[in-house]
């Protein structure tokens, strides 16, 4: 019979794998949005350098906002998954 500690670790690992499967589409969507926004941001920066048109700088603000939002959502999702697996950290407000 395996010690209780190993059983607990196996349960946590199984739970982590299940949660990764549940959040798969959401993770792909946020990562895709982030990659598209980074590509748009870099494309806009290159056009600004070549055309010296500062009116296109507005596009950079939109792309950077999408990047910040999607990365924030991914980090929030991972925080929730880890809190479910390992429990909340003592002294950290949820």
What does the DSSP assignment read for 25-94?
A: HHHHHHHHHHHHHHHHHHHHHHHHHHH--GGGHHHHHHHHHHHHHHHHHHHHHHHHHHHHHH-PPTT---
Position 7 scores a pLDDT of: 76
pLDDT digits (tens, 9 = 90+) for 23-60: 888 888 888 888 888 888 888 777 777 776 666 666 67
pTM across the whole model: 0.57
37 Cβ contact list (under 8 Å, min separation 6)? 63, 64, 66, 67, 70
Position 59 scores a pLDDT of: 67
Position 1 scores a pLDDT of: 43
pLDDT digits (tens, 9 = 90+) for 61-85: 777 788 888 888 888 888 877 777 7
**What distance in Å separates the CA atoms of residue 36 and residue 23, rounded to the nearest whole number?**
20
More confident call, 92 vs 44: 44
């Amino acid at each position: 019979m395996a010690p209780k500690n190993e059983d607990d670790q196996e349960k946590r690992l199984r739970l982590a794998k299940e949660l990764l499967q549940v959040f798969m589409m959401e993770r792909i969507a946020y990562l895709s949005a982030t990659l598209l926004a980074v590509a748009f941001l870099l494309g806009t920066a290159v056009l600004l350098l070549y055309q010296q048109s500062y009116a296109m700088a507005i596009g950079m603000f939109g792309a950077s906002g999408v990047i910040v939002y999607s990365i924030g959502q991914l980090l929030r999702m991972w925080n929730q998954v880890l809190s479910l697996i390992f429990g909340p950290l003592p002294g950290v407000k949820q």
